[in-house]
Chains A and B, each alone.
Chain A
Amino acid sequence: MKSKGRFSEFKKGMQPTIKELKFTLKKIRQSPLSLIGMSLVSFFIVIAVLAPVLAPPKMADPFLIPYGEEYVTIPEPPSQLHPFGTTTGKIDLYYGCIWGTIYAFRLGIIVIAAILLIGVTLGLIAGYYGGLIDEVIMRFTDIILAFPGLILVMALIVALSQAINPFTGQTWTKIDAAILGIMLVGWPGYTRLIRGEVLRVKTEDYIEASRASGSSDLRIMTKHILPNAIYPIIIVASLDLGTMVLFAAALSFLGLGAPPRYADWGQLINQAGNWVSYGLQYWWTFVFPGLFITLFCLGWNLLGDAFRDILDPLYRRK
């Protein structure tokens, strides 16, 4: 009896949450673009989760694409053995695209998480305290923003590949260097964005009210300012998750990201570069990896838009 009472109490307590959730789901159903975005992203999640089944790894490192015994330069068209065909060096495109999904997620999530952590912390501190602290942090972000992002990342990767990675004790691998480079270049935009929001929220009465009831600076920042300032950041982060993968692909295309034979879409496109000039004769070499990148970015972009419609209270009730 008692447990039943507790459950109904719990159910009653959850009612507003459920109501909001239902409203959110209704919102999603109503906008076809966000549905497409969500299905694209879930499609990639399914691929990533099922990768060991869809393309069983044959090497010790599953991210290394299996290749033929003898080196064959000419790509082979799609066949029973290689559903997406092969590219230079008899590299299996199907395997590369499937495992490339995991790599894309891994890269996107690690990079965005780190950028969020750095950007949000610095932005909060700069916006909240203002004055000299604000000045120092924001001028530093200005310096980083002043360089073209891709060039700065390239410079960082080149520099890092000469330096010792404190975690492994060896020089940075190309992939780690690329991830770290993108992180170090990506955060300033977030800092700026959240600082602006903090400046807006900081002047609200409830912040003063909270201070008058004895809240410390840290508490005000984390409990009162952050929840009111975070929405644009979440939206931008979801948009950027696709962009960061595109960025990494660009680096790989330039030969600075993943090494050859690594399951990375950018790397596969890099391989395809030689065959584009033949027109559509070797179409599978660039169409399949290109399609994966395009759909992945499109999915996150649409999802970001959907997030905005759902999360932003100004749009939500329209």
Chain B
Amino acid sequence: MEQENLVEIRNLYLNFYTYDGVVNALDGVELDIKKDEILGLVGETGCGKSVTSLATLAMVISPGMIQSGQIEFDLGKEKLDLLNIKERDRLKIRGKQVAMIFQEPRAALNPVYTVGDQIAEVYYHHRKEELTKAAISEAEKDVKNAKGFKRSIYKRELSLLEKMLKNPKSLTVRFASKIPILKRFQNRIKLVVRKDTVELLRLLRIPDPQRVIDMYPHELSSGMAQRVVIAIALTCNPTLLIADEPTTNLDVTVQMQILHLIKELKGKLGSSILYVTHDLGVVAELCERVAVMYAGNVVEVADVMAFFKNPLHPYSQALLESIPRPGQKFVSIPGTVPSLVNPPIGCRFYDRCRYALEKCPKVKPELVETEKGHMVACHLYHEG
């Protein structure tokens, strides 16, 4: 069954302005992420994997700048071009629609806040209305059951919460949330958040979530920290989860656990996952489709089975051959990645390619579908 695209990246050009010159980090990247799939993005270090994944959030690390291109995001009701909307609207999409898991889990957590605080921050930011409603229903229950003085306190809390739901920026609410004793009406929301956070941590198979929620990042093992980072990403049930080498820094057993977790969560939440990695083993294990990047270009997109059976692009072939196997000589790809400061005009893989044709250094190959669902950017497969 052909699935719809969730994200369509078209012609994305991104440059880094460094002292050495302009680095053409992304050179017309084309990538589709389908709904409800795990797409593996493979490539060697520095080929633009991470930059592409960040660009999917319309985020660029300084001194980079997106030159041109389109990143269309299907929100169900409407399609948004992330590069053409205001920053304020992007903030609503980041974390809510698209969430990210980072490579170094401990560095991705702020050392001065507890795990619970960091998860709660995302809750507050994106789901305030929902939380307020939950808190109101709790408060209504208390008003019904309580008597006398307590009842009047609960009533006051309720009225403040209702005001907050109606207009979170109203003066009374803002005033009340700054005054120490009046501030307590927010405790209900905090309790709701805490309950949800514990649930979430439990979903991620974190042992003893009641205790972990009050821990600081340095008290966690890296596997645990990665789960917390995943928890932060999952707070708002994102439609797209970007995982930027989430298991690279973990040891193999923990890596396995995290991979299983991701696979399982995907089944539960039904979101698409963009899995960035350089580990083809992980791709084979986890992904449904795979996209190969080389020096700022997507050179091949295929289903996982098709890719491992019949890789088309010479780079993909070389990549698969260079997986070390016992008893065999270690094979590597000859040559080095071209400098991206003044990249070759034609195919960027040309000088390392064993099948190089005459027009390879002159004309840049485009990504063309050769078989159904199998796209490749190489002159070998282009007619004429």
Q: A: which residues have CB within 8 A of B?
A: 13, 16, 130, 204-206, 208-216, 219, 223-224, 227-228, 313
Contact = CB atoms under 8 A, between A and B. Distances in A.
B198 interface: no
Contacts of B110: 206, 210, 224, 227-228
A100 to B, nearest CB: 34
B62 A130 contact: yes
Interface stretch (B41-49, B120-128, B175-183, B272-280): B120-128
B175 to A, nearest CB: 19
A309 B88 CA distance: 41
Contacts of B66: none
Interface string B306-334: 00000000000000000000000000000
A13 B210 CA distance: 11
A9 to B, nearest CB: 11
Contacts of A210: 110, 121
Nearest to A228: B112
Interface string B42-59: 000000000000100101
Contacts of A206: 107-111
Interface in B70-102: 88, 91-96, 99-100, 102
A227 B112 contact: yes
Interface string B290-314: 0000000000000000000000000
10 contacts: A130-B62, A206-B107, A208-B102, A208-B108, A212-B54, A213-B233, A214-B91, A215-B121, A227-B113, A228-B112
B1 interface: no
Given A16-B214, A205-B104, A223-B121, A213 B111 contact: no
A221 to B, nearest CB: 13
Nearest to A215: B125
Nearest to B229: A209
A213 B102 contact: no
A109 B214 CA distance: 35
B62 A214 contact: no
A204 B214 contact: no
B93 A209 contact: no
Nearest to A230: B112
A209 B232 contact: yes
Contacts of A215: 91, 95, 121, 125
Nearest to A214: B95
Contacts of B93: 214
B91 A205 contact: no
Contacts of B57: 212
A90 B96 CA distance: 74
A214 B122 contact: yes
B252 interface: no
B91 A212 contact: no
Contacts of A130: 62
A214 B126 contact: yes
A205 B225 CA distance: 13
Nearest to A201: B110
Contact of A205 (B108, B112, B125): B108
Contacts of B94: 211-214
B61 interface: yes
A227 B54 CA distance: 26
B252 to A, nearest CB: 23
Contacts of B62: 130
Contacts of B107: 204-206
A137 B59 CA distance: 26
Given A16-B214, A208-B61, A223-B121, A213 B99 contact: yes
Given A208-B61, A209-B229, A214 B214 contact: no
Interface in B225-254: 229, 232-233
A205 B59 contact: no
A229 to B, nearest CB: 10
Nearest to A16: B214
Given A205-B104, A213-B99, 7 more contacts: A16-B214, A206-B107, A206-B108, A208-B61, A211-B59, A212-B54, A213-B94
A268 to B, nearest CB: 41
Nearest to B218: A313
Contacts of B125: 213-215, 219
A228 to B, nearest CB: 6
A212 B55 CA distance: 11
B100 A209 contact: yes
Contacts of A16: 214
Nearest to A213: B95
A212 B122 contact: no
A274 to B, nearest CB: 53
Contacts of B88: 216
B111 A228 contact: yes
A209 B62 CA distance: 15
Interface in B194-231: 214, 229
A216 B54 CA distance: 16
A208 B108 CA distance: 8
Contacts of A205: 102-104, 107-108
Nearest to B92: A214
Contacts of B232: 209, 213
Nearest to B117: A223
Give the 9 A-B residue pairs with the shortest CB-CB distance, closest first: A214-B95, A213-B95, A205-B107, A214-B94, A212-B100, A209-B108, A206-B110, A227-B112, A205-B108
